[in-house]
């Protein structure tokens, strides 16, 4: 821009920051912010809102609070959206006490009134920790401020009751919502109910809720199916879990890494390691990347089944990625380049990323490590 005799303004920097935060490149976003400060371009409320939101999502709540303090020192008053973001971040770090003080005390000092979304964020944090006394206090605050506890608030409350083992109260509250308050449940509330029912071993009742969703026109999402699949796997009902996995695609959903990981865990617990390996390979072929939990579950299952060589290979695969053969030849080429040899390397067939290796297709791990 300097070549065109123009300098970026606050709007330009905010656009860049928003893009970088969306791409989760938080270090570069902070570098752009520092450049913004060096160029004497004043940040505004939107600038800090973008950065604070990104840092909270990255789990660096202390950096978010530092930016919040810097914002207030510059005379920029935060709005309720920024407060809500920090409250959510504090709750994720299980610092619900700090979140409550920030929302109920600091907002009043800055003449910024909490709204329903902010209260629900705080309510959700306490519900996940099971602090029922604090939950009742927050509900009173919501009503005293003239707000109505909506579906999201009641969903958080039901989830909290399940977490502390108050199963009957959670079911009773859900029944009262539908009968007395005329609040129609959504997919999130149904998923919470299914999770609570499966935790109590009432998987059949959870499946009935799935049918109830269909009758009311609510389409279950993948997370909803995963909750039921986990319930079946925990009880050793693998046939039911398999059928639910097939049902996901029929409802315009797709299994994700959590779906496959849950099934692999369930199969390995039953000692059905061969099928667990097949699911792992199917997962890769469909472009669904396995997580650390996926690898850990299958490696543990292979070790328990005495398949130590394949477990060792999977661990090696986890470290360097899928293209073991390509990695091997790159190492050989680097060695030959270091030795300054003039001979040409023979052409080798390299496995492409679109062709994930199965255990049967891969060479022995010991051979690879020895050659490399």
Q: What is the pLDDT of residues 212-246, one digit of tens each?
A: 888 888 888 999 999 999 999 998 899 999 998 88
pLDDT computed for residue 357 by the predictor: 36
CATH number of 1-76: 1.25.40.10
Give the span between the Cα atoms of 2 and 349, in whole angstroms.
49
Look-up of token digits 């914002």: 71
Question: Helix, strand, or coil here: 115?
Answer: coil
Which carries the bigger pLDDT value, residue 23 or residue 331?
23
pLDDT computed for residue 142 by the predictor: 82
Report whether pLDDT(289) > 90: no
Query: What is this structure's pTM?
Result: 0.68
- End-to-end Cα distance, the chain: 49
Q: Hey, what are 357's tokens?
A: 């290796």
CB atoms within 10 A of CB 353: 10
Residue 372 per-residue DSSP state: -
pLDDT computed for residue 163 by the predictor: 86
Q: Indicate the pLDDT class of residue 5, thresholds 50, 70 and 90.
A: low
Which alpha helices (DSSP H) does 41-200 contain, by range?
Answer: 45-57, 61-73, 80-92, 96-101, 107-109, 116-129, 132-144, 151-163, 167-179, 187-199
Q: Indicate the pLDDT class of residue 135, thresholds 50, 70 and 90.
A: confident
Instruction: Choose from 88-97, 102-111, 323-332 the range with maximum mean pLDDT.
Output: 88-97
Give the chain's mean pLDDT.
Answer: 81
Give the span between the Cα atoms of 205 and 224, in whole angstroms.
14
Which of 121-130, 165-174, 288-297, 351-360 has the weakest average pLDDT? 351-360
With contact defined as beta carbons under 8 Å apart, do 126 and 135 qualify? yes
pLDDT computed for residue 214 by the predictor: 84
Instruction: Please give the share of the chain, as a percent, with pLDDT higher than 90.
Output: 34
Q: Indicate the pLDDT class of residue 127, thresholds 50, 70 and 90.
A: confident
Report whether pLDDT(349) > 70: no
Residue 286 per-residue DSSP state: T
Which of 104-113, 188-197, 200-209, 319-328 has the weakest average pLDDT? 319-328
With contact defined as beta carbons under 8 Å apart, do 35 and 2 qualify? no
Mention every residue, 6+ apart, whose C-beta is less than 8 A from residue 66.
none
């Amino acid at each position: 821009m300097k070549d065109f005799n123009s300098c970026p303004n606050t709007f330009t920097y905010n656009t860049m920051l928003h893009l970088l935060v969306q791409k989760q490149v938080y270090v570069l976003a902070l570098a752009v912010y520092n450049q913004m400060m060096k160029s004497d371009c004043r940040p505004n409320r939107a600038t800090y809102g973008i950065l604070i939101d990104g840092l909270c999502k990255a789990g660096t709540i202390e950096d978010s609070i530092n930016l919040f303090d810097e914002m207030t020192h510059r005379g920029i008053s935060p709005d309720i959206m920024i407060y809500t973001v920090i409250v959510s971040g504090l709750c994720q770090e299980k610092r619900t006490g700090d979140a409550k003080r920030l929302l109920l005390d600091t907002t009043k000092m800055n003449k910024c009134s909490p709204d329903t979304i902010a209260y629900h964020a705080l309510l959700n944090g306490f519900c996940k920790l099971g602090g029922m006394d604090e939950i009742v206090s927050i509900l009173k605050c919501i009503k005293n401020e003239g707000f109505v506890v909506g579906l999201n608030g009641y969903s958080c409350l039901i989830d909290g009751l399940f977490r502390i083992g108050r199963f009957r109260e959670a079911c009773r509250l859900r029944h009262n919502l539908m009968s007395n308050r005329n609040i129609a449940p959504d997919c999130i509330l149904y998923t919470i109910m299914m999770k609570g029912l499966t935790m109590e071993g009432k998987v059949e009742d959870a499946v009935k809720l799935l049918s109830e969703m269909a009758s009311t026109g609510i389409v279950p999402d993948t997370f909803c199916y995963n909750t039921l699949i986990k319930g079946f796997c925990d009880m050793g009902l693998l046939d039911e879990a398999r059928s639910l996995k097939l049902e996901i695609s029929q409802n315009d959903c797709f299994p994700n890494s959590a779906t496959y990981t849950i099934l692999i865990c369930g199969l390995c617990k039953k000692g059905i390691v061969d099928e667990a390996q097949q699911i792992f390979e199917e997962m890769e072929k469909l472009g669904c990347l396995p997580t650390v939990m996926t690898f850990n579950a299958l490696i543990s299952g292979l070790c328990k089944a005495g398949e130590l060589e394949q477990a060792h290979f999977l661990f090696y695969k986890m470290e360097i990625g899928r293209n073991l053969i390509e990695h091997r030849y790159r190492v050989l080429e680097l060695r030959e380049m270091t030795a300054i040899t003039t001979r040409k390397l023979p052409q080798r067939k390299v496995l492409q990323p679109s062709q994930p290796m199965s255990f049967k297709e891969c060479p022995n791990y010991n051979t690879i490590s020895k050659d490399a």
